[in-house]
Amino acid sequence: MLYQSMNTIALFTTLNVIILLWVGTLQNPFKALFALVKELVTTPRFFILFASMVAILILNKYELQIEQEHLISPNDFTPMIFQWEGSLVQHIQNLFYSPWITPVLAYFYLLVFQALIIGSVGVYLIQQNKAYVYATCYAILINYAMAIPFFLFFPVNEAWSYQPAGVTFYMLEVFPDFEKVYRPLSGLDNCFPSLHTSLSVTMAVLALRSGNRRWAIITGISAALIIFSIFYLGIHWVSDMIAGTLLGLIASILGIYLGKITHSKAVRSRTFLFSKNS
């Protein structure tokens, strides 16, 4: 079974990354790994940025632990969100539900989403577009840095778990053990803003601005399907999507700005060292 364990999910995510790298660049996808190692070893600025990105991902995991240990006990804002939206997500589900659509959207939600983020870094590494390698790392950092405080202090439960909303959790049709296998990575009340939305939008905007038309098409279509999947599968509210879209736009704009500055400084630093050694 495709979603039998996190090991199989990691395996198929890796396969997706390899395919995306090949389709997005038409080059050997394994060049990304060598380029990553080279950049980490030769560019201190990138090493610090990459380490910071990994650190905030670890921090996000600890955020779930803090919630589980009840170190922070804020109010539940789910009823307020439902008061604003009513049964909108349920109506979306009723309008589009079909047994063949469910596994496709679950695949994009679980596997393509992760592969899109990793693949974005890889595509820019392969193409030696270092400004956008930095921009992607910065944008991921900004997404999590801005989302984590909301997860801690503005908890909103997933739509399916709030009974008055009448939403069905269709993920269970293809991934029956979702709550046991995948839930440790995603808190039930970490809905607002939607990181699936914000990070998908971020990758699509970065791709569009990077000049790689092929990658822009791939990320744009993937982002649209991932965002639709959060409603179809019964996970997010429309408010989560709106907030996630705004976060994604902010993160991508700031990421590009910081990425270009960092790349310029790195180039000047190398030029100075070369001139000094000459």
Mean pLDDT for 94-110 is 97
Q: What is the 3-state secondary structure (H, E, C) of 122-141?
A: HHHHHCCCHHHHHHHHHHHH
Residue 61 has a pLDDT of 75
Q: How far apart are CA 121 and CA 106, in angstroms?
A: 23
Is the preceding peptide bond at 99 cis, omega within 30 degrees of 0?
A: no
Please provide the average confidence, as pLDDT, over all residues in the chain. 91
Residue 278: pLDDT above 90? Answer: no
| pLDDT range class, residue 270, cuts 50, 70, 90 | low
Return the CATH number at 203: 1.20.144
199 or 68, which is more confident: 199
Residue 124: pLDDT above 50? Answer: yes
Range of the domain at 118: 6-277
Residue 271 has a pLDDT of 58
- Is 49 a member of any domain? yes
* Closest to 121 measured CA to CA, from 57, 191, 172, 179: 57
| pLDDT range class, residue 45, cuts 50, 70, 90 | confident
| pLDDT range class, residue 60, cuts 50, 70, 90 | confident
Number of domains in the chain: 1
Q: Which two tokens stand for residue 251?
A: 């993160």
Q: 40, 215 in Cβ contact below 8 A? A: no
The DSSP letter of residue 48 is H
Mean pLDDT for 190-219 is 97
| pLDDT range class, residue 121, cuts 50, 70, 90 | very high
Give DSSP secondary structure letters for 169-227.
-THHHH-TTHHHHTGGGS-TTB-SS-HHHHHHHHHHHHHHHHT-HHHHHHHHHHHHHHH
Question: Helix, strand, or coil here: 156?
Answer: strand
Q: How far apart are CA 198 and CA 192, in angstroms?
A: 11
Q: 206, 216 in Cβ contact below 8 A? A: no
Q: How far apart are CA 194 and CA 244, in angstroms?
A: 5
Q: How far apart are CA 247 and CA 206, in angstroms?
A: 14
The DSSP letter of residue 76 is -
- Is 220 a member of any domain? yes
* Closest to 144 measured CA to CA, from 37, 259, 226, 61: 61
Q: 194, 244 in Cβ contact below 8 A? A: yes
278 or 138, which is more confident: 138
Residue 150 has a pLDDT of 93
Residue 65: pLDDT above 90? Answer: no
- Is 87 a member of any domain? yes
- Is 1 a member of any domain? no
Residue 274 has a pLDDT of 47
Residue 37: pLDDT above 50? Answer: yes
- Is 94 a member of any domain? yes
Q: How far apart are CA 31 and CA 36, in angstroms?
A: 9
Residue 69: pLDDT above 80? Answer: no
| pLDDT range class, residue 73, cuts 50, 70, 90 | low
Q: 139, 44 in Cβ contact below 8 A? A: no
| pLDDT range class, residue 5, cuts 50, 70, 90 | confident
- Is 60 a member of any domain? yes
Q: Name, of 63-72, 146-155, 246-255, the range with top average pLDDT.
A: 246-255
210 or 58, which is more confident: 210
Question: Helix, strand, or coil here: 102?
Answer: helix
Mean pLDDT for 235-258 is 98
Residue 43 has a pLDDT of 87
Cα 187–Cα 120–Cα 244 angle in degrees, nearest 5: 40
Mean pLDDT for 98-117 is 96
